[in-house]
Amino acid sequence: MIGGTTFRKRLKDCGFETVVSFSDRRYSQPSKAWVEKFGDWVSKHQPSKFAPDSFDCDDFARWARFRASMTLIKNPALVAKESTHTFIEAWVYIKAGRKLNDVAGGQTHATNLVLASDDKFYWFEPQNGRITSFNKAKASIEKLVIAFP
């Protein structure tokens, strides 16, 4: 469990240019094991094929956050009463010639970020369910644009 003010500070400390303001006071942190299991599910249950401008990265990121919410909030073992969760939408600029969870660089990309119960951030790619630690991916990211808790 992490407080809203602390969560916002942790996101800013990561280097995001903007962290969208939010009013939630308490955030439950899913385990890395849950995130990995969710990634397996996402890889098998894609809502659509990638389609530029109609169902692309931002749509996948919002879909994954919604699905995570539906799973986490309905399970009191995963999310404490009167709290939300730390599975969020985030926009980054991936360096040219690099990849983030198999997404090519040289572009701004909407993806997901989660602060797990081990108190570490993980990038979650909603188009394939892959997960990479925040620190391991640093070399691939040129700019952390915006976070939507």
CA distances from 76 to 3, 70, 90, 91 (A): 18, 12, 25, 29
Q: What is the pLDDT of residue 102?
A: 92
Between the two ends of the chain, the Cα-to-Cα distance in Å is: 14
Q: What is the pLDDT of residue 119?
A: 96
pLDDT tens-digit map of 2-19: 888 899 899 999 999 888
Q: What is the pLDDT of residue 17?
A: 87
pLDDT tens-digit map of 80-139: 667 788 999 999 999 999 999 999 999 999 999 999 999 999 999 999 999 999 999 999
> Which has the closest alpha carbon to 105: 131, 136, 143?
143
pTM (2 decimals)?
A: 0.90
Average pLDDT taken over every residue of the chain = 89
Q: Is 31 in contact with 77 (CB distance < 8 Å)?
A: no
Compute the CA torsion angle 93, 98, 99, 100 (nearest 10 deg).
-50
pLDDT tens-digit map of 32-70: 999 999 999 999 987 777 667 777 899 999 999 999 988
